[in-house]
């Protein structure tokens, strides 16, 4: 499997969609929308963008978009004081990512860590259910099923099977996300 197809698969699994306008696409900018609501602007989804200049940015609001690139210290620079002495200073600058495929890998790693994991309660449909609550609901459905077997009510059997299938699917997705996050840890170490 090629690197590009792996990234496309990861973006599909994470529900990340390209929402670039025609003007952005013409300029080489790609805007990606995550299926996670923006906690500052409840009506919108989190968006990140990749620029041909090597920057990756958060696009959640027009006045406070910020760069997601890693930061590093610049080479020491000097300026001359009025008395003839020199002072040394350094600045922080962004580490640019020149290749689009590298920017996408970086964005996936960043989004996994900072949005999918930290903002788990902001899932788009608002159907996030904690593990304890899910287990409680499943236990209640099993009790209803037991009653149905004993002739009380049979309509919950299909719902239990559906819930079991949902649990299995969620466990698979979580395992995939954890594997992707672990793969991305090596990106952060570099």
CB 24 within 8 A of CB 44: no
User: Which residues sit opposite 89 in a β-bridge?
Assistant: 77
Q: How many degrees, rounded to 5, is the angle at CA 37 between CA 94 and CA 114? A: 35
Question: What does the pLDDT look like over 73-130, one tens digit per residue?
Answer: 888 889 898 998 999 989 988 889 999 999 999 999 898 888 877 766 555 555 555 6
The predicted pLDDT at position 102 comes to 92
Domain-by-domain residue ranges, the chain? 1-128, 129-190
pLDDT of residue 136: 77
The dihedral formed by the CA atoms of 155, 161, 162 and 168, expressed in degrees to the nearest 10:
160
Residues facing residue 93 across a β-bridge: 72
| Rounded Cα gap, residues 162 and 136, in angstroms | 16
Please write the tens of the pLDDT for every residue from 10-59: 888 888 999 999 999 899 899 999 888 776 666 788 899 999 999 999 88
pLDDT for residue 164 is more than 90: no
Q: Is 23 exposed, middle or buried (0-12, 13-18, 19+ CB in 10 A)?
A: exposed
For residue 123, what is the DSSP state? B
pTM: 0.58
Sign of CA dihedral 35, 44, 20, 107: negative
């Amino acid at each position: 499997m090629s690197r590009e197809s792996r990234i496309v698969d990861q973006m599909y699994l994470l529900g990340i969609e390209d929402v670039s306008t025609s003007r952005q696409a013409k300029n080489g900018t790609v805007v990606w929308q995550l299926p996670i609501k923006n906690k500052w602007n409840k009506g919108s989804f989190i968006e990140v963008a990749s620029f041909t200049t090597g920057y990756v940015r958060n696009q959640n609001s027009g006045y406070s978009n910020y760069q997601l690139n890693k930061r590093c210290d610049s080479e020491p620079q000097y300026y001359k004081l009025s008395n003839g002495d020199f002072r040394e200073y350094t600045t922080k600058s962004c580490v640019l990512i020149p290749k689009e495929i590298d920017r996408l890998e970086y964005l996936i790693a960043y989004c996994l860590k900072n949005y999918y994991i930290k903002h788990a309660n902001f899932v788009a449909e608002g159907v996030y259910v904690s593990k304890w609550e899910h287990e409680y609901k499943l236990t209640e459905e099993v009790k209803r099923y037991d009653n149905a077997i004993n002739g009380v009510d049979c309509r919950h059997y299909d719902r239990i099977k559906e819930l079991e299938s949902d649990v299995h699917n969620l466990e698979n997705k979580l395992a995939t996300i954890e594997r992707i996050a672990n793969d991305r840890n090596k990106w952060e170490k570099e």
